[in-house]
Amino acid sequence: MEGTQHPVATVRLVFLARLRDALGRQDETYPLDRPISVGALLEALRARGGPWERELAAGRAYKVAVNHEVVAAGAVVRPGDEVAVFPPVTGG
Amino acid sequence: MTVRVQTAPFDVEAEVAALRGGDARVGAVVTFLGTVRDINDGTAVATLELEHYPGMTEKALEAIVAEAQSRFDVYGVRVVHRVGPLAPTEPIVLVAVTSAHRADAFDACRFVMDFLKTRAPFWKKERTPDGDRWVDARVSDDDADARWG
């Protein structure tokens, strides 16, 4: 289909490890019908208050991956994307 | 396969044999084996629970291996990382590298581990007598990553 209409109007949010425990969920379908920045998405999540505001506050150590690539706050999230939020990694 | 994430134990000898194969150019095989300690930051650890992000973890490991292959003169690189519950003394991760000479094999092996520590999405949770706790990332791991420039 032509134009800017996206076939899906959601993104999948994934929360991993300690952040999954702290936020009380491992994933969710989040409504999104147009591209926004990662920073704007995080702002919307922080607005939920409680652990969201606390855990995703600026200065807290966490990373965001869009479609499996770690990105900065200026990166763009598009409908259909998978966005993961997770603490610093501790493998090996 | 170059990169694997699995719950099952792995056989170091079999992994090395598969990586090395019959390649007569190989003069050096370096392996790193990471294992579970029973004490971390002064607390006894009964079990370690390793979590990953399926899909991204494999891609991240493949990217690290590709980077190692572009930086060092190596023939083969293999990474096997376990997830799930692991007891003290159990192997967690194997990195094996083959090259013509030892220097590149040592360097590439260390490079892969240093990058894995800071870039591959794995997380450790410790089961201790005082309850479960997520392991915090270490600043020393960031330093080890940074030394490669």
Each residue's pLDDT tens digit, B62-94 = 999 999 999 999 999 999 999 999 999 999 999
CATH number of B3-146: 3.90.1170.40
Interface ipTM > 0.85: yes
Question: Of residues B117 and B143, which shows the higher confidence score?
Answer: B117
Are B134 and A89 within 8 A, CB to CB? Answer: no
Q: How far apart are the first and last CA of chain B?
A: 28
Chain A residue closest to B123 (CA)? A90
pLDDT of residue A3: 52
Closest partner residue to A17 (CB to CB) among B51, B55, B116 is B51
Task: Tell me whether residue A50 is in a domain.
Answer: yes
Each residue's pLDDT tens digit, A8-42 = 899 999 999 999 999 999 999 999 999 999 999 99
Task: Tell me whether residue A4 is in a domain.
Answer: no
Q: Can you tell me the distance from the alpha carbon of A65 to that of B112, in angstroms, rounded to the nearest whole number? A: 21
CATH number at residue A72: 3.10.20.30
Closest partner residue to B113 (CB to CB) among A61, A90, A92 is A92
Task: Tell me whether residue A34 is in a domain.
Answer: yes
Q: Can you tell me the distance from the alpha carbon of B136 to that of B75, in angstroms, rounded to the nearest whole number? A: 34
Q: Which residues of A touch B134 (CB under 8 A)?
A: 17-18, 21, 87, 90
Report angle CA B82, B46, B136 to the nearest 5 degrees: 65
C-alpha distances in Å from residue B137, one per residue of A67, A89, B35, B87? 23, 6, 17, 20
Of the pLDDT bands very low, low, confident and very high (cuts 50, 70, 90), residue B10 is: very high
Task: Tell me whether residue A28 is in a domain.
Answer: yes
For tokens 């990694």, the residue is A89
Each residue's pLDDT tens digit, A46-83 = 999 999 999 999 899 999 999 999 999 999 999 999 99
Task: Tell me whether residue A52 is in a domain.
Answer: yes
A16 in B contact zone (CB under 8 Å): yes
Are A17 and B123 within 8 A, CB to CB? Answer: yes
Each residue's pLDDT tens digit, B16-43 = 999 999 999 999 999 999 999 987 777 7
pLDDT of residue A1: 46
Are B134 and A17 within 8 A, CB to CB? Answer: yes
Closest partner residue to A91 (CB to CB) among B56, B59, B122 is B122
Chain B residue closest to A62 (CA)? B137
Task: Look at chain A and report how many structural domains it folds into.
Answer: 1
Are A90 and B113 within 8 A, CB to CB? Answer: no
Structural domain including A22 reads 10-86
Mean pLDDT of chain B: 94
Chain B residue closest to A88 (CA)? B137
Please check the confidence at residue B9 and state whether its pLDDT lies above 60.
yes
